[in-house]
Structure 1
């Protein structure tokens, strides 16, 4: 499965852990990476729906408007005993914004075409980096998400321009902890040109 990611990043991937491919795979990955177990994917969908509903104006700005926001909210509503068709699948970075804020985690997304890091947009980072929680998911075969275990201190993709320009002032500090690691990723020459390094403190 490593072949689904840019080859220069392979040395920094320690493991790739699969989840059930039932249309809920992205939410299964998040649940597992948060320590809930992948079968807790309905709770993840519920939490993200709540996040998108309670912070409607803010999330509409992040995802490109209210119409897109309503599409995303609708995609989160599924029967817990059924699989999910394509319009119910998780999309990144759209859902990435909704993940980092309620769980206060750093989300790294990897694929063959898009790599990005999304930081919490509302909270101040803990002073000790040991209290930061970073999770990584990979999008493979254009239709499936997997858990990715990264090497400690490895290069990280840069922030995407939307989240970096819409975070609260107190949240800008997150990126400063990871400036060197994001620069190391840029030095690998694998960063997607649609994502830029906006590192204002």
Structure 2
């Protein structure tokens, strides 16, 4: 019941069968009566549905049981009972604090080991989302909390809660927040303005739902030169800086991200190149490196899509059970600027690129402080063609706050961050031992960040 992965579930089931092999009737009973309903009670499958912590067939009895544990006694005065119920509710609220501690424990592997169960099952930010918010500096907003945790109805539920007239106090609080925002960094002001506009005028959004393009062929004469869209207005200054940087792409001192790059890597960085921030930036970096032309970002998307569809069993282990189709639709896009629904997903999308081009990926996490060492990872191909014994190239990419990517050039034989856990767990025998070839460079990284 507690198996967190399908692999763990298979292992414990096999162990059970071996242990009770002399009692075939028991095994038959378990299989036909219980295991046929595994998706309804095994943790791996229940972690994929929203249940808000209710894992019992009777929600009332489940809640009674939990509350009784806090009461410890069937008798009590109003003050003691109220205090313990209050503590019980408070204990549920601090789950976010526990998830934050879990985020720190996972360290640089938070992106691949989080599992996002808290987000899916409870409607609360998971360790991955918390880390993303900290790295991007955007913070966590209340809209990321499921309404279940923000709603209290006492009674039969027919009448909504009645609030006092707090409009004056709310208005004063809002004005104080606006004063604080206006005095903040321009990026904060821009972000908050966009959020308010979306709340007040959802029908005025510049970003409509994209139409899925089922055509397999490449679009012709399609590049990032077009009438300015929302993202290009937002990134107009960034684009101008990028144009200046292209004149001297090897001077890392000119990079506006230099102060945020991991300090141990700075001596090894020999060059960098920014790309247009129109939502395709991850694919623009891939196109720049492999095709020598950012304008071929749609070729990069098509290449990744073909690789994933060619080996569905392999990539289902990377993207998650039942999530292959969703990610293929995310990757499949060739209609210009795009919102977050079609961005590159690091770390997963880097595996099909590494496989297709037989390339070793180095991804550097650019945080708000130079001591942010995650997600800094090394990614090898998951499989190799016959006769291939090592990656042919090395590609370095930096993720800026999880929402923008830039290309990085590193000196030969520079240090390597940790190997991605997904590679260790899912690579095929054809690439066994590839990580051992780079043990010395891995040791360099460990020595640098001590």
TM-score norm. by structure 2 comes to 0.40
Find the counterpart in structure 2 of residue 166 from structure 1: 426
Is the contact between residue 62 and residue 163 of structure 1 (CA under 8 Å) also seen in structure 2? Answer: no
Question: Would you say how many aligned residue pairs link Structure 1 and Structure 2?
Answer: 186
Between 1 and 2, higher relative CO (CA 8 Å, sep ≥ 6) is seen in 1
Is the contact between residue 4 and residue 141 of structure 1 (CA under 8 Å) also seen in structure 2? Answer: no
Residue 62 of structure 1: how far off its partner (Å)? 1.6
Whether 1:121 aligns to 2:386 is no
Q: Secondary structure at the match of 2:345?
A: coil
Whether 1:89 aligns to 2:343 is yes
Q: Show structure 1 runs of 4+ deviating over 6 A.
A: none
Whether 1:75 aligns to 2:309 is no
Find the counterpart in structure 2 of residue 107 from structure 1: 361
Is the contact between residue 17 and residue 146 of structure 1 (CA under 8 Å) also seen in structure 2? Answer: yes
Which structure: greater helix fraction?
A: 2
Q: Structure 2: which 5+ residue stretches go unaligned?
A: 1-256, 368-373
- Tell me the distance in 2 between the aligned counterparts of 1:98 and 1:108: 14
- Tell me the distance in 2 between the aligned counterparts of 1:150 and 1:159: 17
- Tell me the distance in 1 between the aligned counterparts of 2:380 and 2:410: 17
Which string of whole-angstrom CA distances, capped at 9 and with x for unpartnered residues, describes residues 71-100 of structure 1? 2211112233x2010111101111011111
Q: Secondary structure at the match of 2:417?
A: coil
Which structure: greater strand fraction?
A: 1
**Match runs of 1:13-28 below 5 Å:** 13-28=269-284
Residue 132 of structure 1: how far off its partner (Å)? 2.3
Give the structure with higher Rg (CA).
Answer: 2
Is the contact between residue 359 and residue 395 of structure 2 (CA under 8 Å) also seen in structure 1? Answer: yes
* Partner of residue 150 from structure 1, selected from 410, 415, 434: 410
Is the contact between residue 417 and residue 442 of structure 2 (CA under 8 Å) also seen in structure 1? Answer: yes
Find the counterpart in structure 2 of residue 37 from structure 1: 293
TM-score norm. by structure 1 comes to 0.85
Q: Secondary structure at the match of 1:30?
A: helix
Q: Structure 1: which 5+ residue stretches go unaligned?
A: 191-201
Q: Secondary structure at the match of 2:354?
A: helix
The 1:121/1:79 distance shift into structure 2, 3 A limit, reads: closer
Residue 35 of structure 1: how far off its partner (Å)? 3.5
Q: What CA RMSD, in Å, does the superposition of the two structures yield over aligned residues?
A: 1.8
Residue 3 of structure 1: how far off its partner (Å)? 2.1
- Tell me the distance in 1 between the aligned counterparts of 2:319 and 2:274: 27
